[in-house]
Amino acid sequence: MRLVAADGEQIGIVRIEEALRQAAEADLDLVEIAPTSRPPVVKLMDYGKWKYENAQKARENRRNQTSTVIKEMKLRPKIDDHDYETKKGHVVRFLRGGDKVKITIMFRGREQSRPELGLNLLQRLADDVAADGVVESAPRQDGRNMIMVLGPTRKKAEAKIEVEAAKQRKAAERAADREAELKEHADSRAAAATEERHKRRGRADNLDPDIDL
């Protein structure tokens, strides 16, 4: 078998007894890393540590992976401006959140004979949200519907970081406002207390010293 040292150095082809002897002397494990090779490849390592580090890496990779969610927004070919702006706002919010958006234009009756209505609407929407999304799947007919998929310009992880940063900024602003409010209240009370002391001192100064108290 081909033996590899713990530091990755190629020791060479040795008998199994020699590989086990070197593992025992180094107080390491002998792990088969390429069983299908000819000859098989084994390596000297701390198997417990290696297994732990691999588990840590796998856990970190899972933590860094963000599942892409596909949202859906349905529109009619002759949608009015108010509804269009509302639905466009939802699309922008989804894209900024790092999600893809499936846009579905629903045709009814004679509208199916005018696919240009759907194409024009999809193009208008793509242009309006260009700052936040790109067309990943061009418009295509799907039965009575026409479909287009928009993808976010930023990764979901980046969007989450920005959202969290925005939350932290708002929290800091609220804390600063609260602190300023408390300081203003404290200053107001201090000013009132000072004014009251001045009034008392003035009343005391105006008392006739000859009056028998």
Strand positions, DSSP E, the chain = 2-4, 10-13, 29-34, 41-45, 70-75, 100-106, 133-142, 145-152
| Mean pLDDT on 131-140 | 94
Higher per-residue confidence, 55 vs 171: 55
Give 84-117 pLDDT, tens digit per residue.
999 999 999 999 988 999 999 999 988 989 999 9
Q: For residues 79 and 81, give the distance between their C-alpha atoms in angstroms, rounded to a whole number.
A: 7
213 pLDDT tier (thresholds 50, 70, 90) = very low
pLDDT at 206: 62
Amino acid identity of residue 17, one-letter, is E
Domains detected in the chain = 2-50 (3.10.20.80), 70-156 (3.30.110.10)
Question: 3, 37 in Cβ contact below 8 A?
Answer: no
| Mean pLDDT on 171-184 | 81
